[in-house]
Amino acid sequence: MAFQVFDSLTKEKRIFEPLEPGVVRMYNCGPTVYGRVHVGNLRTFLFADTLRRWLEVLGYEVRQVMNITDVGHLLDDADAGEDKIEAQARRERRDPWEISRGFTELFLADVRALGLREPRVRPKASEHVPEMLAMIEGLIAKGFAYQVGGDVYYEVAKFPRYGRLSGNTVAELEAGARIEVRAEKRHPADFALWKSDPGHIMKWPSRFGPDGFPGWHIECSAMAQKHLGDVLDLHTGGEDNVFPHHECEIAQSEAFTGKPFARYWMHSKFLQVDGGKMSKSLGNVWNLDDVRARGFSTRVLRFALIRGHYRGPLNFTWGILEEARSALEKLDELCADVRAAARGERAAAADQAGQEAVALARERFDAGMNDDLNVPQALASLFELRGALRATGLGREAAAEGLRFLAHAQAALGVLLLEEATLDVRMQALLAARGDARTRKDWAASDRIRDEIAALGVVLQDTPTGVVWRKKE
């Protein structure tokens, strides 16, 4: 079955085919490093990671590029606001470079803790200013951009397809009147490619003047082209990036290269918190440390955030993390059961027992993932497998296939515990001591040791065939 993705540009599901067979060029819009990433950001990056993982499972070589915006850019194209990295620097009374460096480190740590695979390149905007200037020069030369004093603007009227991605039209943008009119712009919707401002701290000299800095959108156009070439297969981001960011990128890149910029556009839906928008004023902008402080592991967070389809709204509450934790335990059991059966422990007499259930789960899993990354359906196949195996039993040979399937699922999802957990010597001694106490029917001692073990994070379960333990998250 072919992999289908929902393309935001055509607004329909399309079979995914890269330009070059076997190779996928993917650009993911990354963070602006002026603050700690929150769970909403993480959802979007997790979506990009899941996409990358699934493409790799399908056998593609994925050339993934995720940028880091470490250059301040104006809060809006009309120049009315201020640079947010510099604003944060002022609040913290620190150097803006130090701010962006610090939050870049935190971002990388967060994303690694969540199990995101490392992209091939993480280009920084600050290191690509020459490429941006080259593109700006090219746009001026081709008549798509114009210089006014030390500023350069993109002339939207020269690019008829402007608005195709977002559904906005230049005429409506004008009528909307929410764009502040700048006298020097030829059209209110024209956006900045380069700005001059001596007061800006992060700035570069160019032929437009000694104190300039790039517009927001140009960085992605320049970095994508440098690291992936003129035509991308996939470009992703959060839904808020559709307009203006991606609309402007298309205008810049396509005007510059004369080729379509990205073959498929994918956008993830915003994460809601407590049923509404997350905002600083409501105090519900949670980051990874908040999640940890509430006692949830990053694996539980990852599971909670991929449980909903990336294009649907997902409501973040502490309750969904608790649900996620309970549900994950079931999947951990499934993994443990399959491992045990593969070793011959508690395996069904018939080697083939459970084989059909494994095959069916795999089919359902792949069908889900191939349908525009329907992770909820893929996850359901794992739970169904668990139920089916309890009913049919699992033979040794079928278990080997089960293990291969679980490894396949794990490659795509990154939330399963495939490796056997081990207990340290001290824990083994405690378990033995409790076993002795139980044979003596010394329940008081046995329960005391069980509490001790529980305090160390291991849950015990007495079964007819012996004691089973599980590490608690």
Positions in 81-110 near RNA (CB under 7 A): 81, 84
Of 387, 421, 428, 440, the one binding RNA by CB under 7 A: 387
What is the helix, strand, coil percentage profile of the chain, to 5?
A: 50, 20, 35
Find the part of the chain contacting RNA (CB under 7 A) among 122-130, 139-147, 276-284, 411-419: 276-284
DSSP letters for 215-267? -HHHHHHHHHHHHH-S-EEEEEEEGGGIIIIIHHHHHHHHHHHSS-SEEEEEE
Taking CA atoms, 371 is separated from 15, 132, 416, in Å, by: 9, 37, 21
Q: Is residue 425 a contact residue for RNA (CB under 7 A)? A: no
Complex with RNA: residue 198 or 376, whichever CB lies closer:
376
State the minimum distance, in angstroms, from the CB of residue 346 to RNA.
11
Q: Is residue 397 a contact residue for RNA (CB under 7 A)? A: no
Of 393, 411, 460, 473, the one binding RNA by CB under 7 A: 460
Of 244, 354, 402, 414, the one binding RNA by CB under 7 A: 244
Bridge partners of 237, per DSSP, are 267
DSSP letters for 333-358? HHHHHHHHHHHTTT-BSSTTTTHHHH
Q: Is residue 251 a contact residue for RNA (CB under 7 A)? A: no
Task: Tell me which DSSP letter residue 179 carries.
Answer: S
Of 197, 230, 333, 397, the one binding RNA by CB under 7 A: 333
Find the part of the chain contacting RNA (CB under 7 A) among 153-161, 236-244, 401-409, 410-418: 236-244
Structure tokens at 86: 């510099």
Q: Is residue 32 a contact residue for RNA (CB under 7 A)? A: yes
Taking CA atoms, 134 is separated from 46, 47, 138, in Å, by: 33, 32, 6
Structure tokens at 270: 């915003």
- Looking only at residues 99 through 158 of this chain, which bind RNA when binding is defined by CB under 7 A? none
- Looking only at residues 192 through 231 of this chain, which bind RNA when binding is defined by CB under 7 A? 216
Complex with RNA: residue 187 or 404, whichever CB lies closer:
187
Q: Is residue 319 a contact residue for RNA (CB under 7 A)? A: yes
- Looking only at residues 44 through 73 of this chain, which bind RNA when binding is defined by CB under 7 A? 44
Residue 449 near residue 432 (C-beta atoms within 8 A): no
State the minimum distance, in angstroms, from the CB of residue 21 to RNA.
28
Complex with RNA: residue 68 or 137, whichever CB lies closer:
68
From its phi and psi, is residue 274 left (phi > 0), alpha (psi between -120 and 50) or beta? left
Q: Is residue 354 a contact residue for RNA (CB under 7 A)? A: no
The closest of 292, 222, 205, 282 to 257, measured between CA atoms, is: 222
Q: Is residue 322 a contact residue for RNA (CB under 7 A)? A: yes
- Looking only at residues 298 through 317 of this chain, which bind RNA when binding is defined by CB under 7 A? 307-309, 312-315
State the minimum distance, in angstroms, from the CB of residue 226 to RNA.
20
- Residues 6 or more apart from 183 whose CB is under 8 A from it? none
Strand segments (E) across 101-254:
145-148, 151-154, 191-196, 204-206, 209-214, 232-238
Of 243, 257, 410, 423, the one binding RNA by CB under 7 A: 243
Residue 379 near residue 425 (C-beta atoms within 8 A): no
Residue 100 near residue 34 (C-beta atoms within 8 A): yes
Of 58, 327, 403, 427, the one binding RNA by CB under 7 A: 327
Instruction: Give the contact letters, 2-31, x = binds to RNA (CB under 7 A), - = no.
Output: ---------x-----------------x-x
